[in-house]
Each structure stands twice: as structure tokens, then as C-alpha cells.
Amino acid sequence: MITTARLALDQFTYSDAPFIVALLTDPDWLRYIGDRGVRTVDDARGYLENGPMASYATNGFGLYRVSLRESGVPIGMCGLLKRDALPVVDIGFAFLPAYRGQGYAFEAAAAIVADARDRLGLTRILAIVTPENVGSIRVLQKLGMIQDGEIQMQAGGDALCLFVTPAQCE
């Protein structure tokens, strides 16, 4: 578990499936991240098993549940992903609408970057984001990441902004 002043970041479990349904069916998730086909608790369990949980086992990292430290209420996810289309890991995050604009994404992402450096020894992290996702771009910039062009993750797919950790971190 990773903790910050206000947050606790921990591995997802199957009991998080109802929360995953709410997060992955949020209109902004669908708009900026994409439809993962999660509509039911069973779908969410499959998403967790084949996504975050598989990544923990294979890579030693993944997307984590972000909860309010005092209440334990889940508010979002944040973590590292290893995608075949990218040369190094990338950071991803998403929060329920009620918890946006309060600094939680930055707080969680900064904790993930520190953990990547300190525990995993990673010195370079990428991020991909749709050009319209201004809020996420602001978080990446606040983390000190810089835009390094655009990338298409799949043939014929939309161009995404590619962010990288600053040169002094490499």
C-alpha cells in the first residue's frame, strides 16, 4: 500500500467490482480512455483479473485503487501500465466526477512516480492522453512531464499526446 496525506493506493481485489463498474461507465472515462465493455459486476471482475491483477503478478505493478485515507471510500485509480506499443511503462489515472479538481489525481500520480523510482528503479515514464483531456494534461505537466509529440496506439486510431519524464530523470 502507498499512502499520501489524503489518499491510500492499494491493489484492486474482486470486491472492488462495483466501484469499477461506476468508474468505467463514467462518460468521461468512455470519452477519454475508451469503452472497456464493462457494464456488470461480472464484467468488472473480468477486467480486474485480466488487467490490474494480471499486471501485479507479471510486472510487480499495475493500476491501483485510490481511496480517501480517512474513510476508505474509493475515488479513482492510478498506476503504471506496460503496453506492448510503448517502449517503457506509462502512468494512467482516472477519478470519479465528484473527486476531480481537488488535487487527488496529482497527489496519487506523484506517489506512483515516487514508488516507480524508489521501489522499481524506473527512471523514465511515459503518459498518453487525448488532446482534449485538458485536466489530465495539466496533471502531467504539474508532475513535470513534457509533451514529446503524438503517437497512434493502433493503426487508424486517434493521435494521442505523448508525455515523457523530464530529461534530468533519465
Q: Tell me the pLDDT tens digit for each residue of 31-55.
A: 999 999 999 999 999 999 999 999 9
CB 78 within 8 A of CB 8: no
Residue 168's pLDDT is what? 40
Name the average pLDDT for the chain: 94
Q: How far apart are CA 95 and CA 30, in angstroms?
A: 12
Give the closest residue to 29 by CA, choosing from 16, 41, 15, 39: 39
Residue 157's pLDDT is what? 80
Residue 98's pLDDT is what? 97
| pLDDT tens per residue, range 1-22 | 999 999 999 999 999 999 999 9
Tell me the domains of the chain and their CATH numbers: 2-169 (3.40.630.30)
Grid coordinates standing for 96?
470519479
pLDDT > 50? residue 136 = yes
Size of the chain in residues: 170
| Order of strands, sheet of 7-11, starting from the edge strand that comes earlier in the sequence | 2-3, 7-11, 63-68, 74-81, 90-95, 126-129, 159-164, 146-152
Q: Which pTM was predicted? A: 0.94
CB 67 within 8 A of CB 73: yes
